[in-house]
Structure 1
Amino acid sequence: MNLSQRDHNVIWHPYTQMKTAPLPIPIVRGEGALLFSEDGKTYVDAVSSWWVNLHGHAHPYIAQKVAEQLQTLEHVIFAGFTHPAAVTLAERLIGILPQGQRRIFYSDNGSTAVEVALKMAIQYWENKGTPKRRILAFRDSYHGDTFGAMAVSSRSTFTAPFWSYLFEVDFIDVPVPGQEEETIAQLEAYAASGTDTAAFIFEPLVLGTAGMVMYQPAALDKLLEICKRHHILTIADEVMTGFGRTGRNFACHYLQHQPDMVTLSKGLTGGTMALGVTSCTEEIYTAFLHDDKSKTFFHGHSYTANPVACAAGLASMDLLLSEETQQHLIRIAQKHQEFTARIRGFSNIKEIRQQGTILAIEFESESGTSYFSNLRDTFYNYALAQGVILRPLGNIIYMIPPYCITNEQLEQVYQTIVGMHRLISDNQA
């Protein structure tokens, strides 16, 4: 019995209709931007294995640092104890995070990092003696799959069974080009109405699961200015955009106004293992310092600040800040721009969006922009046949590759996308 069949007998996969899905592809090895299957086929990982892999699979430097840590300390309870890797990673994160971030709270993944931020924001106002209960977010946003994270995400088919369990959230439109003034006016009116809003949570510059929807820093700066004027805390969800994806270390580095909190995961460890971070300003941290122990932030996870994960995070940061990686960010962005110029005139392409190393191509679809567009499976299977892993968001193809991807591998992915265009054109002829 091969690995795929063994898997099918015992495993339930995420975001997968197990009744109709084909057997999973058994991956047995990775190197750089490539993954190798049990039957010897090679795939270019053009989506960084769900956006987590920054520097390539099985990176020897990260592996070395993880191995060293495993021989020293694998884990220690983080309530009342600490360890070098956690302290050093926190110090180094504060050194590169958007200005004003002063404290690091560790958790397990992106969803839990968001949960921590939401709880911090709500309890901050409670501790200050001015309780605020409401949260503001963008329509079409996504912040995770735990209950708090689902609540501040767009209501959709994915969350429909749980709507009655989710707390009420206020939404404003995303300030995409041409709609900036309308969104700014929505927030001005909302803030002026005197609602007891604790925080505004947002994906800076790129809404990932919405289809890599992109908007400009100037619009977000204006929204943050309004929030600060009306004493609404701001939470930047940089789980996807952090660590170079947008061309700078963090998407918030494009802004004049900076958030009160930042959530991180995915690329934090270079895709090596799970780790989450919620950072905050000193002002937020100070609101929890009190002789009354009920003011304590009562939140934690068994694997909080796991030493091995922190070691992976430190190794990944070494690589991220290297001149080689910084040049890769520039190179990939330039290659995306060149490819965009090549395909801009294709008749069945509705829109092309690019920010740093992220490229999204939206194809025309009779069902509109939808995760359930019938183009999704066609694109996905075609790409696999070409030896490329792309995970379409309905009729939207996106690339978010590891930074080590070669120009030749990029061209293989680009040619696969061109092939998708031809496939649609032939079907329409």
Structure 2
Amino acid sequence: MTDWYEAGQRHVWLPYTQMQTARAPLEVISATGTRLRLADGRELIDGVSSWWSTVHGYRHPHIERAVKRQLETLPHVMLGGLAHEQAYVLARRLAEMLPGDLEHVFFSDSGSVAVEVAMKMAAQYWVNRGRRRMKFLCFRGGYHGDTFATMSVCDPDEGMHSLFKGALLEQLVVDLPRNPEDEAALGRLLERHASDLAGIVIEPLVQGAGGMVFHDPFTLQALRRLADEHDLLLIFDEIFVGLGRLGDAMFACEIAGVDPDIVTLSKALTGGTLPLAATVASKRIYEGFLSDKAQSALMHGPTYMGNALGCAAANASLDLFASEPRLAQARAISEQLLRQLAPAKSLPGVVDVRVRGAIGVIQLDRAAPAEELSAACIAQGIWLRPFRDILYTTPPLVSGEDDVRAIADAMVSAVREWSIRSFS
């Protein structure tokens, strides 16, 4: 045990962790590419990309060089009344990459805050038009963050925030529409409630922390139709899937052929290097705040919004998406996971094995024994963090065949051991 670990362990409050019973966290002293190096000399392949963010691997030299250059000139300056090159270049590039007229970028420093900003934009858009519409349509299985407003649009019963049920902002929570009958039923519901709603909030194509639940483009196309019919704003939370994770395009909205009114981005935006997020609004939304009245402005401004180091990392990350074959790599990972996770389908206690892009999931018939499954994977040199009823992987997009094979083998082996103990 290192000195810093021993001295600081009792003072650090860990995320999503029951501190009384949890296993001590592993001491990471460095990381390169797809590997974490531990203080005891072991190396682990990171199978979750540090919560889905390190898409280019750790310490990519292009990102490192960009951050170092920026550190030597301007590490940070407030965006209130001042401007700097990295933020303005990044905003232009995101506007050029996103479909439709998503061209107005509001920066923040985390995904939760980006969604908070999106909700605030949507609600104030209607206030600025003389209509008070403060609620949102959201979905069972959804997850959008841990801040107070974002907790209110997560799954109220099955999500991580059920303890706060009754204390959060009241929302309209429904199942995802997956077919024309569902769309028609949701349309009838919106006929009664649309006048109270500012918009619809959804994770497009994959509900991440709600259990890695997939849906088809039909769902998003139906929501666009319903939003237009009932004069609602459509918000896509692409913090997980945006920027190449699904392989078919850079953004889920492109895959579905749907232009949202607002989209949120984070995680892979800086390649897992520095905290940065963006809430990107359409021309219609942006112009809804233009006025001679000061109170019509969007009154929000995180201290570190548009941080120059973070924006430099993000610009370098976008360089890599343009110059290196990340989408092709995501598709290759997908094809390999489909083959190599398949043996888990026949194991007792496994109810589903599914893959979408560079996301692979083994779903169990009960709450996953997270500590047990994680320990089994660590013993095979793989870092994975199960939750709910799933063991999943979201490897860095630069992961080669050997890494993906090792991850998939560890997942199947860990679940097989659990299945034998549970059902023999």
TM-score clears 0.5? yes
TM-score for both structures, normalised by structure 1:
0.94
Partner of 2:62: helix, strand, or coil? helix
- 1:194 and 1:159 map into 2 onto residues whose CA distance is 24
Contact in 2 for aligned 1:172/1:186 (Cα 8 Å): no
**Matching of residue 42 in structure 1 with residue 43 in structure 2:** yes
How far off is 1:338 after superposition? 2.0
Contact in 2 for aligned 1:237/1:262 (Cα 8 Å): yes
- 1:225 and 1:152 map into 2 onto residues whose CA distance is 21
Partner of 1:155: helix, strand, or coil? coil
- 2:420 and 2:352 map into 1 onto residues whose CA distance is 20
Structure-2 change in CA distance of 1:426 and 1:161 (3 Å): closer
CA RMSD between the two structures: 1.6
- 1:206 and 1:423 map into 2 onto residues whose CA distance is 28
Contact in 1 for aligned 2:176/2:219 (Cα 8 Å): no
Q: What one-letter code is carried by the residue in structure 1 that aligns with 2:165?
A: W
Q: Which moved more, 1:389-398 or 1:299-308?
A: 389-398
Partner of 2:225: helix, strand, or coil? helix
**Matching of residue 415 in structure 1 with residue 417 in structure 2:** no
Q: What one-letter code is carried by the residue in structure 2 that aligns with 1:216?
A: D
- 1:358 and 1:60 map into 2 onto residues whose CA distance is 25
Q: Which moved more, 1:1-10 or 1:328-337?
A: 1-10
Q: Which residue of 2 aligns with 1:204?
A: 204
Q: What one-letter code is carried by the residue in structure 1 that aligns with 2:378?
A: L
Q: Which residue of 1 aligns with 2:176?
A: 174
How far off is 1:147 after superposition? 0.6
- 2:52 and 2:281 map into 1 onto residues whose CA distance is 24
Q: What one-letter code is carried by the residue in structure 1 that aligns with 2:384?
A: L
Q: Which residue of 2 aligns with 1:246?
A: 246
How far off is 1:423 after superposition? 0.5
- 1:5 and 1:295 map into 2 onto residues whose CA distance is 51
Q: Which residue of 1 aligns with 2:64?
A: 63
What per-residue deviation string (whole Å, max 9, x for no partner) do you get for residues 256-308 of structure 1? 33100001111110000100100011111111111111111100011010010
Equivalent residues in 2 for 1:75-94, closer than 5 Å: 75-94=76-95
- What number of residue pairs does the alignment pair up? 419
Q: Which residue of 1 aligns with 2:97?
A: 96
Q: What one-letter code is carried by the residue in structure 2 that aligns with 1:163?
A: K
Partner of 1:193: helix, strand, or coil? helix
Partner of 2:198: helix, strand, or coil? strand
- 1:224 and 1:409 map into 2 onto residues whose CA distance is 39
- 2:242 and 2:368 map into 1 onto residues whose CA distance is 31
Contact in 2 for aligned 1:4/1:25 (Cα 8 Å): no
What per-residue deviation string (whole Å, max 9, x for no partner) do you get for residues 361-380 of structure 1? 11233xxxxxxx25222211
Q: What one-letter code is carried by the residue in structure 1 that aligns with 2:385?
A: R
Partner of 2:17: helix, strand, or coil? coil
Contact in 1 for aligned 2:87/2:308 (Cα 8 Å): yes
Q: Which moved more, 1:142-151 or 1:326-335?
A: 326-335
Contact in 1 for aligned 2:103/2:280 (Cα 8 Å): yes
- 2:419 and 2:169 map into 1 onto residues whose CA distance is 45
What per-residue deviation string (whole Å, max 9, x for no partner) do you get for residues 141-163 of structure 1? 11001111111111246324433
Q: What one-letter code is carried by the residue in structure 2 that aligns with 1:14?
A: P
What per-residue deviation string (whole Å, max 9, x for no partner) do you get for residues 2-49 of structure 1? 243223222111111111112211100101110000011111100001
Q: Which residue of 2 aligns with 1:383?
A: 377
Partner of 2:143: helix, strand, or coil? coil
Partner of 2:352: helix, strand, or coil? strand
Q: Which moved more, 1:262-271 or 1:410-419?
A: 410-419
- 1:153 and 1:194 map into 2 onto residues whose CA distance is 19
Q: What one-letter code is carried by the residue in structure 1 that aligns with 2:175?
A: D
1:403 to 397, 406, 412: 397
Contact in 2 for aligned 1:134/1:168 (Cα 8 Å): yes
**Matching of residue 121 in structure 1 with residue 115 in structure 2:** no
- Displacement over 6 Å in runs of 4+: none
Q: Which residue of 2 aligns with 1:195?
A: 194
Partner of 2:173: helix, strand, or coil? strand
- For structure 2, the 5+ residue unaligned runs are none
- 2:390 and 2:131 map into 1 onto residues whose CA distance is 44
Structure-2 change in CA distance of 1:9 and 1:134 (3 Å): closer
